[in-house]
Structure 1
Amino acid sequence: MRERFVGRTRELETLRAARNRVVLVVGEAGIGKSTLVGQVPGIVGRAVADEGAPDFWPWLRVLDGAGLSRELLDVDPLPGESRASARFRAIARCADELRRTETTIVLEDLHWADEASTRLLRHLSAEDSPTIIATSREVIDLPNADVIRLGPLSLTDVAEYAGPAKAEELLRRSGGNPLYLRLLSTTDAGDAELAHLVQARLAPLSTPCRNLLERASVVGEDVDLGLVDAEGLDEAIAAGLLADDPDAPHSVRWSHALLREAVYDALPRRQRIDTHRDLAAKTSGTDRARHLLRGGGRQEALRACQDVGWFERALPLAETDADRAELHLAIADQAYQEGLAKKALDHCAQAADLGDTDAIARAAVVVRGVQGDAVGPIANLCARARERLGDEDSARHAKVLAQHATVLAEQRGRAHITPLSARALAMAERSGDTEALMLAMQARQLLADVPEQLALGTRMVATGRPEAALWGHTWRIDAAYRLGAIDQVDVEITEVAGLADRMRWPLARWHVLRAKASRAELIGRFAESERLMAECFEIAKTLEDVSTVGLYYSFMQQLTRFTGRLDEYPIPDWILTLAVDHPIFLSATAQIRASTGDRDGALILYERLLPMIPGMPDELRWPSTGVFTAQTAVLLGDLENAAVLYDMLLPLGAYYANQAPGCDGAINRTLGVVAAALGRHDVAERHLTDAIAMEKRIGALPYLALAQFELAKISQRPDELLESALHLARRLGMKPLVAQIEARTAIPLTAREKEIALFVADGLANRTIAERLVLSERTVETHVRNLLLKLGLENRTQVAGWVVRSGLTWSH
C-alpha cells in the first residue's frame, strides 16, 4: 500500500530540479523522508541496521538496478596490498562507472550506512557527481551537497491527509510526524506510545500475518521470503507494514524501521532466541553470525564471528586469555589495514598484556610505517618483545629488531640504530623469511649510503613481493637522483608506473606522481610539475597518512622558488604543528621563508632546527636537509653555523640534493654559496664551476641558471654568466630569478646606500646603524629615505625583501 503524499511541495520541486548534484534529505525517524524521495523515479539502494549487511550494501543494490557488475566494489586486497588501498581502488573504479549513469540514484537511511558506503558518496559528491538523492536522520559531511531539512507537517497538510474534522486533534497527537499521523489515523489507540500504536495496528490482522511479521522482525530490515511462511504476506503489504519491491521478487522490506523495531521489541525473550537459533541453521556467513550472536551458544557464536571477521563482536565471547589475545591481534590488524593506527595500537597493547611471547612479538610489528604519537607505544612493545625473546635467533625476532630500529630512528635519530639494524638484517637472512627480510631492509636503508641504497633496492625487487618491489624501486629512484643518473631515474619511474597500473594501488600511484613531478621540475617544466602534484595531493588525502599531505605543501612551496607564487600555497597551521620535529620539513620551510624576506618566520624554524643538525649526516634525508639549512644560515647571516654546515656537506660535493620528494640541484652550488658568504671566493668559484658542469650534464636547466647566477656574483667578468642565467630564467618562467638578475644589473644605489640597505635587512635601527658607520642618525635617516625613493619601496620590511631578491650581500 503506497502512503498518501501531502505537503512538501517546495522540497519536491527542489528534488525534481536536481541535476548532477547530491541532495541530502534530513529529518527524524518517521518524518517522511522516504515518502518524499519516493516521488522521484530512480535506482534505489538502502542502508540497513543489520550487522550482517556487507560493505557498500546500498551501493550494491544501486549497481544491480543500473545493470552494473558488483565486482566494481570488490575490496579483496591484492597480495601485499592493504585493505585501505583496496577499498580506495574499488571506490575510484565504481565512481567512474556511476558518473556515466543518467538515472537518478536514491540512497535511503544513510545514518546506518557503513563507512565504505559513505566514502564512496563523498568521492562522488566532490566533483562530477551524477544526480543523487540521499536520506538520513542526521547531516552527513558531503562536499558540495544541498541539504533539505524536513520538519513536521502543517495543519493544512494534516487536513488534506485525514480531513478537516480530525486535523487539529491529529496534529496535536502526532506532532506533525507523518508516521505517527498514519498510525493514529487508522487506530483508536489514543495517545499511546509507538509500540502500543504498532500493537494496535497488528491486532486486527490474522494470526498467520502476525506470525509472519514477528518472524520477519527477527530476519531483518530486508526479509528473504525463503526464511518466512508467506501466508499472510499480502495482508501485511496491504496494511502498509511490509513493502513489496518489483525488482526483488524474492524479498520484501519493512515499510519503516521503527515498525520492525517495535514488533521485535515486543517479542517474548524465549521466542526471539529460538527464532534467531532457527534462522542461524538456515543462513550462512554474516547472517548466520548475527543470528548466533543473539540466539546461539557462546562457542558457536564465537567461531561464527571469527569466520566472518567480526573479531570485536567475538571478543566478549572469548573465555581464555589466549583467545582474547588472538582476537585483539586480529582487531589490531583490521584497524591498521583501515588506517586506524591508534585503535590498532590499543589492541596490540591488550594482546601483549594477555598473550604469550609470540603474541607480544606479533603485537610489536602490526603497526608499521607511521610517525608521531604512535612511535612511543610501538617502541615500548618492541622493548617488551625483545626482553621476552632474549637471544632467540628467529624470523619473529628479526621482525621485532627491524621494527625497533625503525621507530628508534624516529625517536633518537638514525645514528643510534646502526648495530640494531645490522643485527636484524643478519638474523632475517639466516631465517629465510621474506617478510622478516623486507622489514630488516627497510630499517637498514634508513642508514644506507647511495651504493648500499641501490643494492638494497635491488634485493627488495628480487623478493617478488609487490610491496617490496614498490619500496625497492622508490629507493633506487632516490639513489639515482643523487648520483645524477637520470636515465636510471626514468627506468625506475617506469617500473613503479607499471606496478601501479597492474595492481592499482593508490600508494604506488602516489609514488609515481611525486617522482614524475620532481622529474618535471628538474628540467623546468613547472606547470607539468604542479599538475602532477595536484593529482598526487588528491591521492594523499585518501591515504590517511599526514606525511603525504605535508609533502605536497613542502614541494609546492619549494616550486615557488621558480614560479614566485608562494601566496598560493600557504602551509596550514596543523601541518606546521605536526612537522615541527621533522628536520627536512623545517629546513625546507625555513629556507623558503628566508629567501622571500620573512626573516622572523625563518628564524623561528631555524633555531628549532639547529640542535638537530649534529646527528643528521648519517640520515637518508641529510643531503637535502643540509643544503636547505646551509642556505638559510647564509640568508640569515649566521656565518658561524654556515661554516660548520659547509664542512659537514663537503664530502657530498659530487652528489646532487635531488630525490623523488623534491630537488635542489648539485650540492656544489650550496657549497659555493656558503664559501662565497665566508669570503672564500676561490673555493666558491671552484664549487660553482663544478655545479654548472653537473647541471649541464643532466639537463637541469633551472639549477643551471641558479648556479650561473651565484657564480656571476663573485666573478670578475659576470656579464656572460648573467646573460645566460637571464635567458634561461626568462625561457623557463623563473620570475623571482629574473627579478634578481635585473635588479643586480641595474642597482641604482650608491655604495653607502647599499651598505645601509644591508643593515636595514639585518633588522638594525637607524641609531645602531649610525653607531656602526660613525655617522649621525639624521644622515642615516636621509640615506634610508633616499634608497626607499630610488627603489620605489614604502617601508623597511620591503627593503629586506628587495635585498634578498637582488642578491645583495656583504661580499659586495
Structure 2
Amino acid sequence: MGAGLVGRVAEVVALDELRAAAAHGSGAVALLTGEAGIGKTAVVEESVSRAAAAGVVVLAGRADPDEGAPAFWPWLRLLDSDVDGLDPSLLSLADAGESASAARFRAMRDVVSALAAAAASAPLVLVLEDLHWADPASIALLTALSREVATTRILVLGTSRTELDLPDATVLPLRPWDVPAVAAYLDRLGDTPAHGTWAPVVHELGGGNPLYTREVGRLLAREGRLARPAGDIDLPDGLRRLVARRTAHLTPACRELLGVASAVGAEVDATVLDLGDLAPAIEAGVLVDDPWAPARLRFAHELVRQACYAGMTRDARIRAHALIADALADAGAGPIEIARHRVRAAADPESRRLAAEACVAAARHATGELDHGEAVHWLTRALENAPSHDIRLERAGAAYRDGRLDLAVSDCEAIVDEVGAPAALVIRGLGGLGSVLAPALIRLCERALALDLGEADRAQVLAQYAFLIAEMHDAGRAEPISREAMELASRSGHPGALVAAIHARHELLDPMDSVDEVLELARRGVELAGPSGRPDAELWSRTWLLDARLCLGDLAEFDAECTRLAELVDRLGWPVARWHLLRARAARAMLAGRFAEAAATAVEARDLALRAQDTSAGLLLQAFQSGLALLTGETLHWPDDLAAMTMRFPGVPIGVTQLARIAMEMGEREIAAEHVAQMRGILPRLPVDGRRPFIVLSAGEVAAWVGDLELAAECYRLGLRYADLYLNSMSACFGSASRLLGVIAAALGEPAAGEHFSAAVAMEERLGSAPFVALSQITYARFLRPDDHRAARVLAGRALATARRLGMPAIAAEAAALAGDDQLTAREREIAALVAQGLSNRAIADRLVLSERTVETHVRSILRKLGLTGRADLRGETQYQH
C-alpha cells in the first residue's frame, strides 16, 4: 500500500480485484463517492499506481465545475491520448445532415466501440474524476459504456461527491477517517510518533475529513508541536485561512499568479494562458501537474482553489478575469467560456459592453446546440450588463422555446409598446380555455395593434389575435379579424404574414368537414416555413396533418408523418414540439391496442406541457383518458378541475360536452342530463371550429342515453356530414363517427341505424384498429340482439376474441354474454352470479358448502375465461345474476 494512503485498504483491494477481472474480459465500472476532501483522489492515485506497475494503460479525464466547460469535457481529455484509435474527434457532433440527438448518439456509440477495440489489445483503466460536475452528455456516455463494459477488458474508475444513477456500477463510498486513522496519519508527519493526545483533538476539529486533517497536521508539524501533548490550536475559520498559511511562504508574485489561476477554473491550460513560474506552488502542494497532460495544471483540491480565489481583492479578481477573457478570445475559445470571464470582469461601461456582447454570443451558441435554457441564462446576464429591447426580445424567444412562458410573456409585456409586432408574436400556438396566458397574449396583440404597423406586421398580429380569440371560444368575433389578416397577408406577399394568416384560418375550420382545405393549409404551411424563417409553421402544419390522417383513417400516412414530426422535434428541441409528438404516439398506441403505453405516454405529454406552464394539458389528458376508457372499461373519476373551469366559463360548449360524456361513462344519468340540458341553448350558436365534431356527436350520444330525443335528433342531423370519417385526433380517439351516429339513430328509431353500425364495423376493419373493431362489433351486436340473435352472436364472438387478446374486460364480459360462449361450467356460472351480487369468497363457500380455497380457484377460472382482470369487473353484470 502506498506510503501516503491511510485507512483505505478495503477500497484499494476491491479495485485491484475489479482490475484483475477486467484484464480477463469481465470489465466493470467502480465509483468512489464521498464529500469534498474525503480522499477519493488519493485512492485513485494508489489504484492507478498499482495498475501502471502491472503494465495496464491508464487514461484520465476530469470534469470542470465552471459553466464554460463544453459537452463531454472529461471524455475529451481522456481520449486525448497516444492509444491507437482513440482521439477527441470521436466526439465531434459537427456532421451535416444529422439532428443534434442523432449526432450525439452516433458519437457515443463510436467512443464505446473505439474503447472496446483498444482494450482488446491491452487492458484499460479509465479514470474520470469529479463526476458530480460532469455535464449530462458526459454522464450519458458513461451510462452507455457501463451497459457494455462487462464483456470488455476495461475498468472505469470514477469519483463523485454524490451517487450517480449507474445501476451496474460498483459503488465504494469513502467514509471520514476514524480516530485511529487520524493517529496513523499524524505519526507519519514527524521523525517520531505524534503524542497520543493529538489524534482525538485533530479528529474533532476536522471531522475526520482527510483534507482538513492534512492541513491541520501539516500546520502542527511545521510548528513542531506534534511530539508534545495536545493543546489549544489557534486556528482561523475553515480551510481558507489554512490555505493562506500554507501559501504564506510563496513570493507575492507567485501568490498573485495563483489568484489568476484560481480565476481560470479547476484546471489551467498553459498553452492558452502563460502564467509564468508556478513551480513553487507545485512544490507546496497547492497545484498539481497532470502527468498525462504536462501543459495543464490543476489545484490539489477544488476547496484549495476556492480559498485562493476568495483571498483575492475585488480589483485583482476583475483584472484576472479580463486577462483570461482576452487570452481565451485570442485563442479562439468557445463563446460560453469567454462570456463567463467577461461577466466577472464587468466593472465599467466598456467592460459591461464587452460582457453583454460575449453573453449574447454565448446565448446564440447555446441556441445552436438546442440548449434553450442555457440561452436564457446568458441573455439574462447580457441584460444585467447592457439592458436593451433587442436583447430582451431575444430572451423572450429563448424562454418560449425553453417552455418558460411566464418569463417570455413578462419580457414581451415590458417592450411591446416600443418594438410592436415582434413582441406580440413571440408566443404562438398557445391559448384556449385552460391557458392562463391567453388573456395576456390577447392584450399584447391589442397593444401592438394600437401602434402604426406595416402591412405585413399588422397581418401577423391580426392573425395571432384572431387565433387567440377563437381559442377563447368566440369564433364569431374572430372570423372577420382572420379574414382581414388573410387579405393583408396576401396583399403583402410576406411569407411570415401568410403563415400567421394560415394558422388563424385553420383555427376557424371544422377539420372533419373541411379536411381537404386543412390538408392544403398544412401543405402551404410546411412550404412557407423556410422562406418565412418560422419553424413553428412546420410544427403546426405537421400537427394538422396528423389529425387529418386520423380523421381520414390513413394510418400509413399518419405513421410517416409521425416520423417527420420526430425529425422536426430533434431539429428544434422545443418542449411544445415534443409534447405534440408524445400526443401523436399516445393516440397511435391506443389505436393499436397498447393501452398501458397509450396511458403512460399521454401522462408524459401532460407533465411536459405543465412544466412548460400550459395548463390546458390537464384538460386534454382527461379527454384522452375518456376515449381510452371506452376500450379498457376503466372507471373514470369526476374531473373537479374541469367542472370548476366550466363554472368559471359557463356555457363553453367543449367543457359542457366533456362533462356530460364523462357523467355518461360513469353511469351518472342525472348529472349527464343536467349538462345535456345546457346544450339545448348552446347548439344553435355552436361555432364552426375543430371542436364541433366532438361536441355534436358526443352531445347526441349522451342525449340519446338520457332520453332527450329532441336534442339527439338535432345532433344526428348535424352529425350526418361526418358519417364516413373517424372521430379520432391526437387529443382523443372515439372511433368511427358512424358508430356514434348508429347509437343516436337507434335511440331515435331511425331505420338507418343498422346501416351506420355496419358501416362502422367496415370502417374500423379497414383502418386496422383492433380495439375499435371490437367496440363497433359489440355495439352492433347489442343493437341486433332483439331481432337477429344469430347475427348478434357472430359479431359478439368476434369481439370476444379481440377483447380477450387485448385485455378489454368490460367488452369481453358483454361479448361473452351476447355470444353465449363464456365457456363457464354450471358451477362457475353459479359462483359468477354470487360474485356479481357482491358476495365474498367466504360467503359463497358457506352458501354452497364448499371450501374457500375451492371458491377462490373457481373465481380465478371465471376471470380468466371471461378476460376480466378482477372480481370487481363481474359485479353488476346482470347476465350472471340468475
Normalization by structure 2: what TM-score?
0.69
CA deviation string 1:563-591 (max 9, x = no partner): 55x48x99999999999999879967975
**Contact preservation (8 Å) 1:533, 1:552:** no
Q: Any idea what SS the aligned residue of 2:437 has? A: helix
User: Taking structure 1 as reference, are residues 224 and 597 closer, same or farther at Cα in structure 2, changes over 3 Å only?
Assistant: same
What's the counterpart of residue 814 of structure 2?
Answer: 740
Q: Report SS of the residue matched to 1:425.
A: helix
Q: 1:158 to 1:600 in 2, by over 3 A?
A: farther
Q: Partner letter of residue 363 of structure 1?
A: A
Provide the secondary structure at the position in 2 that maps to 1:345: helix
Please, which of 68, 80, 86 is the counterpart of residue 52 of structure 1? 68
Which residue identity is paired with 2:688?
A: D
Shift of 1:89: 5.4
Provide closer, same or farther for how the CA distance between residues 500 and 740 of structure 1 changes in structure 2, counting only shifts above 3 A.
Answer: same
Cα distance in 1 for residues equivalent to 2:668 and 2:112: 46
Counterpart of 1:273 in structure 2 is 318
Call closer, same or farther: CA 1:306–1:699 in 2, change over 3 Å.
Answer: closer
In the TM superposition, what is the alpha-carbon distance from 1:225 to its structure 2 partner?
Answer: 0.9
C-alpha spacing 1:97/1:7, structure 2 compared with 1 (3 Å): farther
Residue type of the partner of 1:367? I
State the partner residue of 1:302.
356
The change in CA–CA distance for 1:134 and 1:541 in structure 2 (over 3 A counts) is farther
Q: Is 1:427 aligned to 2:488, yes or no?
A: yes
Q: Which amino acid aligns with 2:406?
A: K
Q: Contact (CA 8 Å) 1:561, 1:736: kept in 2 or not?
A: no
Residues 1:380 and 2:443 aligned together: yes
How many residues are aligned here? 742
1:103-145: per-residue Cα shift (whole Å, max 9, x none)? 787665566566x559858987999999987666678899999
For the pair 1:159 / 2:183, whether they are aligned, the reply is yes
Verify: 1:250 aligned to 2:295, yes or no: yes
Matched-pair contact (CA < 8 Å) for 1:88–1:542: no
1:367 is paired with a residue whose SS is coil
Q: Quick check: 2:290–2:297 contact (8 Å CA) kept in 1?
A: yes
Match 2:462 to one of 378, 398, 401: 401
User: Deviations for 1:761-780, whole angstroms, at most 9, x for unmatched residues?
Assistant: xxxxxxxxxxxxxxxxxxxx
| Bigger mean CA offset, 377-386 vs 539-548 | 539-548
**Coordinate RMSD, CA, aligned:** 5.2
Query: Is the partner of 1:250 in helix, strand or coil?
Result: strand
Alignment match of 2:518 (pick from 421, 436, 453): 453
Match of 1:440 in 2: 501
> Which residues in structure 2 correspond to 1:585-600 (within 5 Å)?
591=661, 594-595=664-665
Residue 219, structure 1, aligned to residue 284, structure 2? no
**Higher deviation after alignment, 552-561 or 12-21:** 12-21
1:354-379 Cα distance to aligned partner (Å, 9 max, x none): x61xx242222222334533333322
Structure 1 residues 469 and 110, CA gap change in structure 2 (3 angstroms): same
Q: State the match for 1:366 in structure 2.
A: 426
Residue of structure 1 equivalent to 2:37: 30
Alignment of 1:255-266 (within 5 A): 255-266=300-311
Give matches, 1:141-156, under 5 Å.
Answer: 152-156=176-180
Residue 463 of structure 1 pairs with residue 508 of structure 2: no
Q: Kindly tell me: are residues 381 and 241 of structure 1, through their superposed partners in 2, closer, same or farther at Cα, counting changes over 3 Å?
A: same
How far does residue 17 in structure 1 lie from its aligned partner after superposition? 9.0
Tell me which of 285, 290, 311 is aligned to 2:340: 290
Residues 274, 515 of structure 1: CA spacing in aligned structure 2 closer, same or farther, 3 A cutoff? closer
Please tell me the residue identity of whatever aligns with 2:211.
L
Report Cα offsets for 1:130-185 as digits up to 9, x if no partner. 99876666788999999887654321221122225332232233232222212122
Structure 1, 197-206 or 738-747: larger mean CA deviation: 738-747
Cα gap change, 1:123 to 1:807, in 2 (>3 Å): farther
Work out the CA distance in 1 between the residues paired with 2:676 and 2:159: 52
Which deviations, in whole Å up to 9, do the C-alpha atoms of 1:537-577 show, x marking residues without a partner? 7788778557789877865774464455x48x999999999
Name stretches of at least 5 consecutive residues in structure 2 with no aligned partner: 19-26, 49-57, 117-123, 188-193, 224-232, 330-334, 364-377, 823-829, 841-869
Match of 2:405 in 1: 341
Structure 2 match to 1:653: 723
Distance in 2, matches of 1:585 and 1:22, equals 55
Measured against aligned partners, the alpha-carbon deviations of 1:411-463 in whole angstroms (never above 9, x if no partner) come to: 33555422222322332333333233223322221222322212201212332
CA contact (8 A) 2:269 2:296 kept: yes
Aligned-residue offset at 1:326: 1.8
Alpha carbons 2:33, 2:159 under 8 Å: kept:
yes
TM-score (norm 1): 0.75
Q: Are residues 156 and 710 of structure 1, via their aligned partners in 2, closer, same or farther at CA, if it must alter by over 3 Å?
A: same
Q: Which has the higher contact order (CA 8 A, sep 6+)?
A: 1
Provide closer, same or farther for how the CA distance between residues 145 and 387 of structure 1 changes in structure 2, counting only shifts above 3 A. Answer: farther
Q: Structure 1, residues 730-762: CA drift from partner, whole Å, max 9, x if none?
A: 4433553332133245599xxxxxxxxxxxxxx
Percent identity over the alignment is 33
CA 1:742–1:735: 2 relative to 1, 3 Å: same
Report the equivalent of 2:826. none
Q: Tell me the residue number matched to 2:235.
A: 191
Report which stretch shifted further, 451-460 or 499-508.
499-508
Alignment partner, residue 593 of structure 2: 526
Partners of 2:726 and 2:737 within 8 A in 1: yes
The separation in 1 between residues aligned to 2:199 and 2:66, in whole angstroms, is 37
Task: Measure, in 2, the Cα distance between the counterparts of 1:517 and 1:361.
Answer: 36
| Residue from 196, 201, 205 that aligns with 1:169 | 201
Return the offset for 1:499.
Answer: 6.3
Q: Which amino acid aligns with 2:563?
A: A
For 1:202-241, list aligned pairs within 5 A. 202-206=247-251, 209-229=254-274, 232-241=277-286
Shift of the 132–591 alpha-carbon distance from structure 1 to 2, 3 Å rule, reads farther
List aligned pairs for 1:307-318, cutoff 5 A: 307-309=361-363, 310-318=378-386
Q: Contact 1:218–1:276 (CA<8 Å) still a contact in 2? A: yes
SS in 2 for 1:368: coil
Aligned-partner residue type, residue 810 of structure 2: P
1:668 positional shift: 2.2
- Please say if residues 20 and 129 of structure 1, whose CA atoms lie closer than 8 Å, have aligned partners that are also in contact: yes
CA distance in structure 2 between the partners assigned to 1:6 and 1:388 by the alignment = 74
Seen in structure 2, the aligned counterparts of structure 1 residues 36 and 719 have a Cα distance that, compared at 3 Å, is farther
Alignment of 1:473-492 (within 5 A): 473-484=542-553, 486=554, 489-491=555-557
Residue 223 of structure 1, CA deviation: 0.7
CA apart distance, 1:706:
3.5
Shift in CA distance, 608/143, structure 1 to aligned 2, threshold 3 Å: farther
- Matching residue's letter, 1:293: V
Label 1:125 to 1:228 Cα distance change in 2 as closer, same or farther (>3 A).
closer
Matching of residues 510-589 of structure 1 within 5 Å: 518=587, 522=591, 525-527=592-594, 555=624, 558-559=627-628, 561-562=630-631, 566=634
Shift of 1:670: 0.8
Cα separation, 2, equivalents of 1:95 and 1:610: 61
**In the aligned structure 1, how far is the partner of 2:6 from the partner of 2:617?**
51
Would the alpha carbon gap of residues 197 and 277 (structure 1) be closer, same or farther in structure 2, given more than 3 Å must change? same
Structure 1 residues 622 and 211 mapped into 2: Cα distance closer, same or farther (>3 Å)? Answer: same
Question: 202, 211, 217: which is aligned to 1:179?
Answer: 211
Structure 2 CA distance for partners of 1:270 and 1:697, relative to 1, 3 Å: closer
Residue type matched to 1:312 in 2? T
Cα distance in 2, alignment partners of residues 680 and 144 from structure 1: 65
Partner of 2:757: 688
- The verdict on how the C-alpha distance between 1:303 and 1:152 changes in structure 2, with shifts beyond 3 A counting, is same
2-structure distance, mates of 1:646, 1:518:
26
| 1:82 corresponds to | none
Q: 1:54 to 1:313 in 2, by over 3 A?
A: farther
Q: Provide closer, same or farther for how the CA distance between residues 168 and 641 of structure 1 changes in structure 2, counting only shifts above 3 A.
A: farther
| Secondary structure in 1 matching 2:218 | coil
Question: Does the C-alpha gap of structure 1 residues 73 and 592 become closer, same or farther in structure 2, counting only changes over 3 Å?
Answer: farther
